[in-house]
Amino acid sequence: MKNTALIVVAAGCAIAHAPVATAGVAPEDQAFQKQIFGHVLGAKPAHACFKRVYAAAHLARHPEQNVRTMTLLVTGKVEDPDQPSYTLGLGVTFRRSGTHFETAGDCGTIRDAASRGAKANAVTCGVDCDGGSIDVTLKDGATVLVAIPDGARIWKAGSDDDETGSERKRFGADDRLFRLDRAPLGDCLPLAPDDDQKAAMERGQ
């Protein structure tokens, strides 16, 4: 699979799209879809869920890590046959609070990023509204690496993100790189933006 770059835009902010394909679905999109969804996108949206719950022993070895759990939902759909679209949702809880926080965004079409020297299977994500960056590396069909080098803009789950302002400070000095494993779609239901997507995920789509 070629290197890919994906631009993520936080909900409630202006959308900045990456360049889009105009002559059929790009090979980068098809490769990304096969790896993360297990198949090329069809008429119906597809979802993939990844998750990690950090054990007490791990947190004891990493006292500067505040993240206790992390869940990633990736949604792909094809409203225009030549321009597939993707949505990311990220949920986190921190060790000193049971409050769930999240961030989400619409994404531009994947494009080849080999000229930038990115690692193979790397997806570079920029959260809008000065929200930081999130890099996702697709290691294989079962594992992804999520890098948040400078923290990211998040808000309390279920709230209007514009009401709470930036919560980036909650990420600690050791909240830089996270390995997430593929999980049942039911684990990502709280990140679904509407009832239709929840119903599709419950059907295993």
pLDDT tens per residue across span 34-68: 888 888 888 888 999 999 999 999 999 999 999 99
When pLDDT is averaged across residues 131-160 and rounded to a whole number, the result is 79
pLDDT at 4: 39
- CB under 8 A, 24+ apart: contacts of 168-171: 168/131, 168/132, 170/66, 170/94, 170/101, 171/66, 171/67
Confidence of residue 11 (pLDDT cuts 50, 70, 90): very low
When pLDDT is averaged across residues 58-80 and rounded to a whole number, the result is 90
pLDDT at 126: 65
Q: How far apart are CA 188 and CA 167, in angstroms?
A: 21
Give the best-scoring range by mean pLDDT among 2-6, 60-64, 119-123. 60-64
- Residue 112 pLDDT exceeds 50: no
36 φ/ψ angles, rounded to the nearest 5 degrees: -90, -30
Over the chain, what is the mean pLDDT?
A: 75
pLDDT at 122: 60
pLDDT at 91: 93
pLDDT in tens, 99-110: 898 887 666 555
The structure's pTM equals 0.79
Q: How far apart are CA 32 and CA 25, in angstroms?
A: 11
Q: Which of the two residues, 114 and 143, has the higher pLDDT score?
A: 143
Q: Which of the two residues, 62 and 9, has the higher pLDDT score?
A: 62
